[in-house]
Amino acid sequence: MDPLTIINLRMHLRQQNIVEFEQRVYDLSTPGHPSYGAHMSQKVIDNLLRPAEETLQLVMDWLSFARLNNIPSLDNNFLYINTTVAEASLLLNAEYAFFLNEVTGKVVLRTLSYSLPLDLHEHIDMIHPTTSFPSVSTRKATMLDGKQTTPAGRRRQAKGDMGHEFEKRKVRDDDLAIFEEIYANETVGTGYEFISVNGGLNTQYWGQDTVESAIDVQSGIALNSPTPVSYYQTAGQPPFNASLQITSDDSELYLEWLTFMLALNDTELAQVVSMSYADEEQSVSIAYAKTVCNLFAQLAARGSQHCLRLVMMGQVGSASPMTERTPLSATQHIEPEIGVSFSGGGFSNYFSRPSYQERAVSSYLENHGRRWAPYFNSTGRGYPDVSAQGTKVSIIYWGGHRYEAGTSCSTPIFASVISLINSDRLSKGFKPLGFLNPWLYSSASAGLEDILSGRSTGCGSTYPGANIPGAGWTAVEGWDPATGLGTPSFKKLLAISQEECGR
């Protein structure tokens, strides 16, 4: 290959004060704490987490010795290096080459190995792109027949901002217009703000999978009205590690989107984001996962809440349960609602259990955790946190009616509940809720309907790999890995917010 081929390296430098920062995020998100609602500015966050002078000096000395043609730039603890393959190969003792995925036709620039000077190992957390290979495939929601669930029906259940999309998932404006005419007439012509990240495009032609984005945007606009809705389209290639359960890449483009969001000023930053995609945590490196988690924590510190779907991976294992986001499961039926078989749940192998979860998850483990104890990390972060309706959800797809099921359906519903509560708070001069989890696991639990029946399907039953006969999580009283704390009652949560969180 041409040694002058351009490559953009991204290095995440080791930060200071991580423990202090995480505690401050929890404190400002906990009702009753003196710091509650005192969201931080990005400047304050950057100063708190800034790498140590020793880290900066060692890394910059190393780069200076390498005599790179372009000067590296530092932003939000990331060091960006625009260089050539020849320089990158010398710098990292690597051999870069183009690799072709014969299934997808994608070509990426990667290396099979690289190394750093020993004295830098404690100062650089992650370098990208290096040895992680993308192989794009798409998780799809499940198409159903039967009785539909409409936005008006979901409002009646009192059971919400908008979907954040990534590469290949597009919104069809024609479908949205039909949906509004049929199901949400009061929103006709409202539309959404399209925001391109890293060159993402909102194309409108045939042949693209638009189910996920249809669920997000159609549900988001219908349930949030008149709150404005934005739609993010992020392009690029994420890193990926294959596992027994995932052999192709579904990991999303978090780094590109997160760095974009953190660069926004507070008036531009979304208060609630619905993300109908998720990863099995072992599909990315622990360094990448922790870097992404830290960036989500920075958004949480600024008062932005992120809800994400759970997938059917890692039922007795791990999925994508970062501590500063709110993972969701799905339910079905009404009076009573029950947990569905296809939701994800479990315990993290990367992230320890946060303090706000300790009482609820420990109670579950004490009473119900023995059966699958050999197969999960009992000290890990438990997920999901909450659930919402996730079956027989009506959408318009390529001009036709379609009923969908999945946590892709429940995520924008729950996010819309929170968005509407925030709208009420702002109208009264209060701050938005921000990061929800400490609230959900304390006083807000009274605004959640506990799900007492239903069972998720476990490892090996759907995906190849380590089959554990009979594995799965059962919904029980209190928190459980099938449905979390339960489903939201908008009326109850609104009342709790007005009474307690307005102070």
* Residues paired with residue 7 on neighbouring β-strands, in sequence order: 83
294-318 tens-digit pLDDT? 999 999 999 998 887 654 333 343 4
d(CA 462, CA 147): 26
341-397 tens-digit pLDDT = 988 899 999 999 999 999 999 999 999 999 899 989 999 999 999 999 999 999 999
Same domain flag for 340 and 194: yes
Rounded to the nearest 10 degrees, how much is the dihedral formed by the CA atoms of 355, 360, 366, 367? -170
Q: What b-and-e string marks burial along 175-214, b requiring 16 or more CB atoms within 10 Å of the CB?
A: bbebbbeebbeebeebbbeebebbebebeeeeeeebbbbb
Has residue 170 got a pLDDT over 60?
Answer: yes
Task: Return the sign of the alpha-carbon dihedral for residues 310, 481, 321, 371.
Answer: negative
Residues 220-229 pLDDT 10s: 999 988 888 8
Say if residue 478 carries a ligand binding annotation.
yes
End-to-end distance of the chain based on CA atoms, in angstroms?
Answer: 62
Q: What are the φ/ψ torsions at residue 291 (nearest 5 degrees)?
A: -65, -45
Instruction: Look up the domain containing 398 and give its range.
Output: 142-408
Whether omega for the bond prior to residue 336 falls within 30 degrees of 0, making it cis, is yes
Within-domain flag for 450: no
Same domain? 164 vs 119:
no
Single residue among 104, 128, 152 that ends a domain in this structure: 128
- Does residue 481 fall inside a structural domain? no
112 and 160 fall within a common domain: no
Among 197, 187, 231, CA closest to 213: 231
- Do 261 and 323 lie in one domain? The reply is yes
Look at residue 161 in the predicted model and tell me its pLDDT. 41
Q: 163 and 269: one domain?
A: yes
Write down the pLDDT at residue 135: 38
Whether residues 234 and 294 share a domain: the answer is yes
Residue 237's pLDDT band (cuts 50, 70, 90): low
The answer to whether 451 is a known ligand-binding residue is yes
Domain boundary among 408, 441, 465: 408
Tell me the pLDDT of the chain averaged across its residues.
84
Q: For residue 384, what is the domain's CATH number?
A: 3.40.50.200
Domain membership of residue 292 (yes or no) is: yes
Both 71 and 209 in one domain: the answer is no
Using CA atoms, how far apart are residues 297 and 301, in angstroms rounded to an integer? 6
CB 58 within 8 A of CB 13: no
Residues 94-147 pLDDT 10s: 999 998 877 767 788 899 999 999 999 999 999 988 887 653 333 344 444 444
Q: Binding site annotation covers 314?
A: no
Percent pLDDT > 70 in the chain is: 83
> Could you tell me if 156 and 297 lie in one domain?
yes
**Residues 122 and 150 both lie in one domain:** no
Model pLDDT for residues 18-28, shown as the tens digit of each residue: 999 999 999 99
Residue 204 lies in a domain: yes
pLDDT at 502: 52
Same domain, 102 and 211: no
Is 456 within the bounds of a domain? no
Provide the pLDDT confidence category of residue 460 given band limits of 50, 70 and 90.
low
Would you give the DSSP letter of residue 354? Answer: P
Give the mean pLDDT of 413-429: 91
Crossing angle for the helix pair 286-301 and 42-49, to the nearest 10 degrees: 140
Categorize the per-residue pLDDT at 171 as very low, low, confident or very high, splitting at 50, 70 and 90: confident
pLDDT for residue 177: 95
Residues 166 and 274 in one domain: yes
79 with 207, same domain: the answer is no
Out of 134-138, 326-330, 398-402, least confident range: 134-138
Instruction: Among 376, 408, 440, identify where a domain stops.
Output: 408
Say yes or no to pLDDT of 503 above 60: no
Q: Is residue 32 part of a domain?
A: no
Cα–Cα distance measured from residue 316 to residue 344, given in angstroms and rounded to the nearest whole number:
9
444 inside domain: no
Residue 105 lies in a domain: yes
Q: How many domains does the chain have?
A: 2
127 is in an annotated binding site: no
**pLDDT at residue 244 greater than cutoff 50:** no
Would you please indicate which residues are annotated as catalytic (active-site) residues? 212, 216, 408
